[in-house]
């Protein structure tokens, strides 16, 4: 029986829904149009910042502020990025949403040892874990902000394996991101399961699934 290592956002949590709430409230706060075009401007900087974080070029504190500096610059506004970062973080912290079927799925694999392994800002992830009750489903919670390493770094997985006292052969990483989850598993010598609710496959992962039902059946076989 494998020890299951789960990603959080878009694997268990519906982060896109939470993010949409946060952005709508930001737009309202700063009297900005709540449109796809506005969100596209935000996403340019946000995705760039996360890519830089995964490469180790910036830390999470810098990411939180920089993405708003980039956004306000792109739309020609001179608002405080620090204020926006604090406001947005508070909204994310208190609007955790589970993906449809996630709770039922986690209950169906309750006999398995599991850890949540997430790249994220500690105060936000901890609040969302509490709000959505995820702590009762996992034996361990690992957050990159608290460890000092991030997916896809091998060092993060080394830390996790040492903490849970397991060999790499005993564990499998499950997530929706090839860049962080699957590539991280490869770096650490772990098997992996790529989950895409859109039915996409990963040539990098050991396995690919497109639903919680498929994932549960696969877990029971390996």
Using an 8 Å Cβ cutoff, are 185 and 2 in contact?
A: no
Using an 8 Å Cβ cutoff, are 117 and 173 in contact?
A: yes
What is the model's pLDDT at position 163?
A: 98
- Report field, pTM of the whole predicted structure over 0.75: yes
Tokens encoding 63: 């990411």
Handedness of CA 183, 140, 47, 66 (dihedral sign): negative
Pick the CATH number of 3-14+98-221 from 3.30.70.1060, 3.40.50.300, 3.40.50.1000, 3.90.1150.10: 3.40.50.1000
What is the model's pLDDT at position 83?
A: 98
> Phi/psi of residue 194, each to 5°?
-95, 125
Using an 8 Å Cβ cutoff, are 220 and 113 in contact?
A: no
Handedness of CA 155, 156, 160, 166 (dihedral sign): negative
What is the model's pLDDT at position 106?
A: 98
Using an 8 Å Cβ cutoff, are 127 and 120 in contact?
A: no
Task: Provide CB contacts within 8 A for 199, sequence distance 6+.
Answer: 210
Q: What is the DSSP letter of 2?
A: P
For residue 158, cis peptide bond before it (omega within 30 degrees of 0): no
List pLDDT tens digits, range 48-63. Answer: 999 999 888 999 999 9
Provide the residue ranges of all domains of the chain, joining segments of one domain with +.
Answer: 3-14+98-221, 15-93
∠ CA 203-207-211 to the nearest 5 degrees? 110
Fold match flag (3-14+98-221 vs 15-93): no
Pick the CATH number of 15-93 from 1.10.8.60, 3.60.15.10, 1.10.3720.10, 1.10.150.240: 1.10.150.240
What is the model's pLDDT at position 54?
A: 87
Task: Provide CB contacts within 8 A for 47, sequence distance 6+.
Answer: none
Whole-Å CA distances, 210 to 7, 66, 95, 202, 216 = 15, 34, 25, 11, 11
Distance CA 16, CA 121 (A): 16
Report the chain (222 residues): mean pLDDT per 10 consecutive residues.
97 97 98 97 97 91 97 97 97 96 98 96 95 96 95 97 98 97 98 98 98 98 94
Distance CA 182, CA 166 (A): 19
């Amino acid at each position: 029986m494998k020890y299951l290592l789960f990603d959080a956002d878009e694997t268990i949590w519906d982060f896109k829904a939470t993010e949409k709430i946060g952005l709508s409230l930001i737009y309202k706060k700063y009297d900005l149009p709540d449109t796809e075009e506005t969100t596209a401007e935000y996403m340019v900087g946000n995705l760039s910042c996360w890519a830089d974080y995964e490469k180790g070029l910036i830390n999470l504190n810098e990411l939180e502020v920089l993405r708003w500096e980039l956004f306000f610059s792109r739309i020609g506004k001179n608002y405080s990025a620090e204020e926006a970062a604090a406001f947005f973080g508070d909204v994310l912290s208190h609007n955790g949403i589970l993906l449809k079927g996630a709770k039922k799925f986690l209950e169906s694999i309750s006999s398995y040892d599991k850890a949540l392994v997430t790249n994220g800002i500690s105060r936000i992830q901890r609040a969302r874990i509490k709000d959505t009750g995820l702590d009762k489903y996992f034996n361990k919670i690992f957050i990159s902000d608290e460890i000092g390493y991030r997916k896809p770094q091998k060092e993060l997985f080394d830390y996790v394996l040492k903490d849970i006292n397991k060999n790499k052969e005993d564990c499998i990483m499950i997530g929706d991101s090839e860049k962080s989850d699957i590539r991280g598993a490869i770096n650490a010598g772990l098997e992996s399961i790529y989950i895409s609710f859109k039915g996409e496959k990963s040539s990098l992962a050991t396995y690919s699934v497109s639903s919680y039902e498929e994932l549960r059946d696969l877990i029971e076989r390996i």
